Amino acid sequence: MSFRARVFGLVLLVAVIAVGATAWLTFKLATRQIDESQEKATQHVVDTADIVRSYARRHGTWAGVSFKVQELSEANHQRIRLVNLYGQVTVDSDHLAKRAARPVVSPPTLIDPRPTLTLPDNLDEQPWPQDLKAVQDVKVRGLTKAEAITLSGIRGFRQAQLLARCLTDRGIEPPAVTPDKFGIPVPAAATDTSDCAQTIKPELVDDEGGDVAAVEVCRSEKVPNPCLVRVFGERVSAFAPEPLQLFLGAVDDDPAKLVGGPMAVAAGSVLVLALAGTAMVARHVSRPVRSLTAASRRLADGHLDTRVPLVGGGELGQLSTSFNRMAQAIEASEQAQRRLVASVAHELRTPLSNLLGYLEALQDGVVPPSRELFASLHDEAQLQRRILDDLQDLTLAEAGHLTYRRVDFDLAELVETARVAHLAVAEATGVRLRAEVAGPLPFHGDHDRLRQLLGNLVTNALRYTDAGGSVILRAYVANGRPVLEVEDTGCGIATADLPFVFHRFWRADPARDRATGGSGLGLTIARQIARDHGGEISVASEVGVGSTFRVTL
Ligand code: ADP
């Protein structure tokens, strides 16, 4: 995958995870907060209903509930409205506060202050009611335990309600009530500072005939308990405050808002996640770059064998490949330079040693000075100069500094000039030298450098061809490109040696070739000149048959 795609993909991954995590956390927190607020709202309705219901049970009347409602409304900043089952408003906090009525937001909740009798299944284990009236009833009328509990409950409730109502009327807070195990509200014992207890008329509490008759009706029932529960409800309902409907209005609170703390924690977590992800991506992405930087430093410090591992096929992979190729090229160039210096030293040492040896011998009088000796020493010096000249040409050419003066000229003429120039040598060595050109061959290039190239090839051909052989120079066009060719019937070059003929200082037979005055650089220079003319040089050769050097320009 490409570097850019990788970075894009990784950053996208981090972004998707971060956004996903944020969305998920926000959703979770918002859902939880909504649930909590709904739970709170429901609980609030239940709590308000409980408070209002307990008021009625404690006071035995709705009278005075408006103070309680007002207090609750002010505490909760909410409208509280109580309506009876006939639609008549008992109390409305907004009316009390003389303000515009706020809308009602919750469905009505029924507040029924009437107690419900609970007759447990294990009645046998329950004690008989202990009040005197009940004991008497049981004895005289032969009541069952359930009937006795029901009657005792009815009377107890009436008594408590009448007392509470009386106390309320007199501005005294009645004692709190708690339901006993049968569900009948029982007031806590309180010191009665009024004469209410005395004013309660016994006939109001004990509607003997009616209550007993109602209870006895249940005897005809197969299962009397549900009937007793119903009778209890009917008998006490006249004494309990009427059921009301509770409506709650909108709360004046600040609008519900999301709690910031968990959100901040969530955002912080996502931020940390995103940071960690980004750091990982940065690490992952920068690792190959860091490895390349370290490798470049090592290379700069002279460790030319430094290479970097290939990372994928994208831009970084290409960069790694380029770096390795560059390092390889630098290493190869360094080695070539070392080899060149070694070769040059080697090439110059032999003729110099020869010169030195003869000069010392002459000095010591060991060798008599002669014309032939001086000619030989002159040749050695010439060879050194040629080596140095060729080396300079080659170095300039390879560095691209060899100057070329390009002109229009005829390649056919160039071939003829080269033939004429080498004719004397050819005749001297008994080699036939001819040229085969098919008419004028116009070309644009450096006339002198191409003449040098052709000269190198012809010199070699004549050098390696024995007397009786022949050398042919050709100039023609092949596939639309001008070609110069030098063919000889000389000793030829072994197939195994062919790949090396254009290498610097390479010679098939160093001893013999040095004797013939070759620098070992001629073909290398020829190839460079050909390349500088946008061409190439090739050779075909067979040992004992001859060689053909072809320059395609
Ligand atoms: P040199 O100056 O020694 O001839 P070159 O680079 O011109 O150097 O040639 C390199 C070697 O290639 C020669 O030493 C010789 O062994 C071989 N060579 C070049 N031309 C020919 C040829 N025409 N026939 C046979 N061998 C050749």
CATH of the domain at 444: 3.30.565.10
- At 530, the pLDDT band (50, 70, 90 cuts) reads very high
Q: Which residue is closest in CA terms to ligand 1's atom 19?
A: 460
Examine the domain organization and report whether 105 and 133 are in the same domain: no
Boundary (domain end) residue, out of 230, 257, 284 = 257
Q: Which atom of ligand 1 is nearest to the CA of 490?
A: 24
* pLDDT, mean of residues 265-274: 80
Q: How far is the CA of 466 from the centre of ligand 1 (A)?
A: 14
Lowest mean pLDDT among 262-266, 287-291, 455-459, 491-495: 262-266
Q: Is 310 helix (H, G, I), strand (E, B) or coil?
A: coil
Examine the domain organization and report whether 530 and 430 are in the same domain: yes
Q: Quote the tokens at residue 65.
A: 């509930």
User: How many C-beta neighbours within 10 Å does residue 27 have?
Assistant: 10
Examine the domain organization and report whether 477 and 508 are in the same domain: yes
Question: Does any domain span residue 87?
Answer: yes
Question: Does any domain span residue 375?
Answer: no
Structure confidence by residue, pLDDT tens digits, 233-268: 888 888 889 999 998 886 665 555 556 677 778 778
Contact 295, 308 (CB under 8 A): yes
Q: Which atom of ligand 1 is nearest to the CA of 501?
A: 12
Boundary (domain end) residue, out of 257, 291, 311 = 257
Examine the domain organization and report whether 103 and 127 are in the same domain: no
- At 297, the pLDDT band (50, 70, 90 cuts) reads very high
State the sign of the Cα–Cα–Cα–Cα dihedral 180, 184, 188, 192: negative
Structural domain span for residue 160: 123-240
Question: Does any domain span residue 363?
Answer: no
Q: Note the maximum CA span of the chain.
A: 178
Lowest mean pLDDT among 105-114, 203-212, 292-301, 451-460: 203-212
- What is the pLDDT at residue 382? 83
Examine the domain organization and report whether 129 and 181 are in the same domain: yes
* pLDDT, mean of residues 114-121: 86
Does residue 493 surpass a pLDDT of 60? yes
User: Against a cut of 0.75, is the pTM above it?
Assistant: no
- What is the pLDDT at residue 186? 82
Examine the domain organization and report whether 464 and 543 are in the same domain: yes
Residue 488 Cβ contacting ligand 1 at under 6 Å: yes
Nearest to 157 by CA among 182, 128, 138, 137: 182
Q: Please state, in angstroms and rounded to a whole number, the distance separating the CA atoms of residues 182 and 191.
A: 25
Question: Does any domain span residue 503?
Answer: yes
User: How many C-beta neighbours within 10 Å does residue 144 have?
Assistant: 16
Helix (H) or strand (E) holding 208: helix 208-217
Q: Which residue is closest in CA terms to ligand 1's atom 11?
A: 507
Half-sphere exposure (Cβ direction) of 372: Cα atoms closer than 13 Å: 2
Give the per-residue SS3 of 122-175.
Answer: CHHHCCCCCCHHHHHHHHHHCCCHHHHHHHHHHHHHHHHHHHHHHHHHCCCCCC
* pLDDT, mean of residues 438-450: 91
Does residue 543 surpass a pLDDT of 80? yes
Residue 501 Cβ contacting ligand 1 at under 6 Å: yes
- What is the pLDDT at residue 252? 62
Q: Give the best-scoring range by mean pLDDT among 68-77, 356-365, 536-545.
A: 536-545
Examine the domain organization and report whether 420 and 541 are in the same domain: yes
Single-letter residue type at 144 = T
Q: Please state, in angstroms and rounded to a whole number, the distance separating the CA atoms of residues 161 and 163.
A: 5
Q: Which residue is closest in CA terms to ligand 1's atom 18?
A: 460
Judged on CB neighbours under 10 Å (0-12, 13-18, 19+), 370 is exposed
Q: How far is the CA of 383 from the centre of ligand 1 (A)?
A: 15
Q: Which residue is closest in CA terms to ligand 1's atom 8?
A: 520
Q: How far is the CA of 481 from the centre of ligand 1 (A)?
A: 26
Examine the domain organization and report whether 249 and 235 are in the same domain: no
Ligand 1 pocket: which of 514, 523, 550 to mutate (most atoms within 8 A of CB): 523
- What is the pLDDT at residue 518? 67
- What is the pLDDT at residue 146? 85
- Domain count within the chain: 3
Examine the domain organization and report whether 134 and 190 are in the same domain: yes
Which residues are CB-neighbours of 39 under 8 A, at least 6 positions away? none
Q: Give the best-scoring range by mean pLDDT among 43-57, 190-204, 442-456.
A: 442-456
Boundary (domain end) residue, out of 213, 240, 267 = 240
More confident residue, 22 or 422: 422
Q: Is 537 helix (H, G, I), strand (E, B) or coil?
A: strand
Across-strand partners of 488?
Answer: 471
Examine the domain organization and report whether 135 and 175 are in the same domain: yes
Question: Does any domain span residue 118?
Answer: no
Question: Does any domain span residue 343?
Answer: no
Q: Give the best-scoring range by mean pLDDT among 112-116, 307-311, 476-480, 509-513.
A: 476-480
Contact 215, 228 (CB under 8 A): yes
In angstroms, what CA-CA distances link 415 with 349, 369, 410, 438, 497? 36, 43, 9, 11, 28
In angstroms, what CA-CA distances link 451 with 405, 416, 444, 448? 13, 10, 13, 5
Contact 340, 28 (CB under 8 A): no
Q: Which residue is closest in CA terms to ligand 1's atom 20?
A: 460
Q: How far is CA 304 from the centre of its chain?
A: 36
Q: How far is the CA of 536 from the centre of ligand 1 (A)?
A: 17
Question: Does any domain span residue 269?
Answer: no
* pLDDT, mean of residues 449-478: 94
Question: Does any domain span residue 200?
Answer: yes
Residue 523 Cβ contacting ligand 1 at under 6 Å: yes
Backbone angles phi, psi at 187, to 5 degrees: -75, 145
Does residue 4 surpass a pLDDT of 90? no
- At 467, the pLDDT band (50, 70, 90 cuts) reads very high
- At 140, the pLDDT band (50, 70, 90 cuts) reads confident
Contact 273, 289 (CB under 8 A): no
Q: How far is the CA of 501 from the centre of ligand 1 (A)?
A: 7
Does residue 286 surpass a pLDDT of 80? no
Nearest to 235 by CA among 204, 191, 190: 204
Ligand 1 pocket: which of 383, 394, 460, 466 to mutate (most atoms within 8 A of CB): 460
Structure confidence by residue, pLDDT tens digits, 345-400: 877 787 788 788 888 988 998 888 888 888 888 877 887 887 888 888 888 877 77
Examine the domain organization and report whether 146 and 132 are in the same domain: yes
Residue 461 Cβ contacting ligand 1 at under 6 Å: yes
Please provide the average confidence, as pLDDT, over all residues in the chain. 85
Examine the domain organization and report whether 135 and 159 are in the same domain: yes
Does residue 411 surpass a pLDDT of 90? yes
Ligand 1 pocket: which of 452, 501, 512, 519 to mutate (most atoms within 8 A of CB): 501
Residue 460 Cβ contacting ligand 1 at under 6 Å: yes
Residue 465 Cβ contacting ligand 1 at under 6 Å: no
Does residue 515 surpass a pLDDT of 60? no
* pLDDT, mean of residues 41-56: 87
Q: Please state, in angstroms and rounded to a whole number, the distance separating the CA atoms of residues 188 and 58.
A: 10
